Amino acid sequence: MVIALAEVSKSFGAVRALREVSLTLTAGRAHALLGENGAGKSTLIKVLAGVHRPDSGQLLLDGAPARFASPADAKAAGVAVIYQEPTLFGDLSVAENVAMGRHPTRRGGMIDVAAMREQAEELFARLGVDIDPRRPARGLSIADQQLVEIAKALGSDARVIIMDEPTAALSGTEVRRLFGVVGALREHGAAVLFVSHRIDEVFELCQEATVLRDGGFVWSGPLHEQTPDSVVRLMVGRDLDALFPKQEVAAGETVLSVRRLTREGVFTDVSFDVKAGEILALAGLVGAGRSEIARAVFGVDKPDGGQVLVRGKRIRAGSPGAAMSAGIGFVPEDRRQQGLVLDASIERNAALASLNRLSRLGFVRSRDERSLARDWAVKLQLKFAHLTDPVAVLSGGNQQKVVLAKWLSRRPAVLIVDEPTRGIDVGTKAEVHRLLSELAAQGVAILMISSELPEVLGMADRVLVVREGRTVAELARAEADEERIVLAATGVAVA
């Protein structure tokens, strides 16, 4: 045993992210951490990385209780983490990104620039990739950023290597190389924790696994006791239909049309239609460009080419105001940063997109503001103490309802929702799904982005798969299944 967690719990406000989870990593073995999005995998990783301190339970290092006060402590103990979202320094060179925190130095403490570059070159050679160590990290493609992250972790001579979805953005050959390197590390006695949604990869690479569901511990043991099917059952563990109360709606006329929308280097030639009453899902890997497409449709980012039409009328590019006037609403991916003013009250937030309608001579009538907020709080079954409370005190699910209220009060013709249930507990998730389904039934055209395949499959009438900024497949509800979507999204065959 190298590192272990014993009955560790961690809560964020009202959300219990981890409940008495145990995990043991052994030298020379690769351990898979499995679970759906929101199961607590990232929180667990951050506990091992020293980012979060557990509320209860113990961290054991070589069998002895230990405490990581910071990521620096975890690093010193030999834990290296490859995060799902790259954490690079854009201003610095690639070589320096790889070396940061442990630059090679000459006598006297001066950084040995040549050695630093050689180190990076050597690591890239091991990974079989061709990235110039001298170029700045800014502007690297997602796949290249991920490879730099991997080189960073490999270079630190860690005893414990944690990989959070390292293959999500990589091509087939790069994945093969990475697996070769992981195998070599294991032989040298490193313990590996591997997180991936690609079950075939897990069975290929790992000897043991731990399954989490909704923050709780489900199963742990040698992988040869399981089959891919049985593992997926452990991960899901509930009836999918109950969670996605999708109503059958006859689609109406086309409301939103996107024509050859292009933003150079981000996405290319994206075209699709969304009809009234229809839910169109954009599926794909993190970094494929889905959120960027949504942002361009709503006018947050200005596209380089193409157009967006609502009911046949072209809307001005790069203007959220024009998009709103045309009847588009946008629930962004990051509700805390982009969807809400956290310190402002529930009623202020709910009314934020309707201020034009609520004001007279430029003054916002606070009585109308309040009645608007109260109406929607009742309709959306918002759980709150006072409408004047800051939004920050609400749970994630209720915060999302406030964002929805903000847009729904404008009676949008098109609603774009980006990861509508990220970080929301299961109960509220089902409510958000019911809401979206009802909206569609009322004739709203919905464009949904989701990284959770069950959500995509449960909610969408049609699925559009995006890979590396291009739409690569369109699947009707009847023909969409997990395998087809993953196949199209990765370009890699699943077993």
Partner 1 sequence: MSGTQDLALPERRRRAGGGMTAVRELGILIALAVVVGVTALVNPLFLSGQGIRDLLLNACLVALLTVGQTMVVITRNVDLSVGSVLGFSAFLTGDTFSVDPALAIVVGIGVGALCGLLNGALVAAGKVPSLVVTLGTLYVIRGLDYAWAQGRQINAANLPDGFLALGSAGVLGVPYLVIITVIVLAVAALHLSSYRSGRELYAIGSNPEAAVLVGIPVGRRVFTAFLVSGAVAGLAGVLWAARYGTVDATAGTGLELQVVSAVVVGGVAIFGGSGTVVGAALGALLLTTIGSALEVLHITAFWQQAITGALLLAAIALDRAVALRQAAALRRQSRGVSA
Under the rule (CB under 8 A), what is the footprint of partner 1? 49, 51, 70-72, 74-76, 81, 83, 87-93, 96, 100-101, 103, 105, 109-111, 113, 129-132, 134-136, 138-141, 143-144, 152, 264-266, 268, 468-470
Q: Specify which residues 166 forms β-bridges with.
A: none
- Long-range contacts (CB closer than 8 Å, 24 or more residues apart) made by 488-491: 489/283, 489/284, 489/285, 489/288, 489/465, 490/198, 490/285, 491/171, 491/172, 491/467
Smallest distance, partner 1 to C-beta of residue 460, A: 26
Residue 103 CB, nearest distance to partner 1 (Å)? Answer: 5
Smaller CB distance to partner 1: residue 46 or 213? 46
Q: Are 143 and 169 in contact (CB under 8 A)?
A: yes
Q: CB-wise, 132 or 334, nearer to partner 1?
A: 132
The residues near 26 (Cβ < 8 Å, ≥ 6 apart) are: 1, 2, 191, 208
Angle at which helices 426-441 and 396-408 cross, to 10°: 20
SS3 130: coil
Cβ atoms of 166 and 181 within 8 Å: the answer is no
In the complex with partner 1, the residue whose CB is nearer, 144 or 419, is 144
Comparison of 143 and 387: residue with beta carbon closer to partner 1: 143
Q: Are 416 and 330 in contact (CB under 8 A)?
A: yes
C-alpha–C-alpha distance, residues 36 and 213, integer Å: 7
Least distance in angstroms from the C-beta of 127 to partner 1? 12
What residues have CB less than 8 Å from 370, skipping those under 6 apart? 347, 387
Residue with smaller CB distance to partner 1, 42 or 421: 42
How far apart are alpha carbons 270 and 103 in whole angstroms? 43
The distance of closest approach from Cβ of residue 295 to partner 1 in the complex, given in angstroms and rounded to an integer, is 15
CB of 468 to partner 1, least distance (A): 6
Rounded to whole angstroms, the Cα distance separating 389 from 342 reads: 10
Nearer to partner 1, 266 or 430 (CB): 266
Nearer to partner 1, 108 or 312 (CB): 108
Q: How far is the CB of 50 from partner 1 (least distance, A)?
A: 8
Question: What's the closest the beta carbon of residue 430 comes to partner 1, in angstroms?
Answer: 33
How far apart are CB 132 and partner 1 at their closest, in Å?
Answer: 5
**Spatial separation of the C-alpha atoms in residues 482 and 258, rounded to whole Å:** 26
Rounded CA separation 326/221 (Å)? 55
- CB nearer to partner 1: give 396 or 469: 469
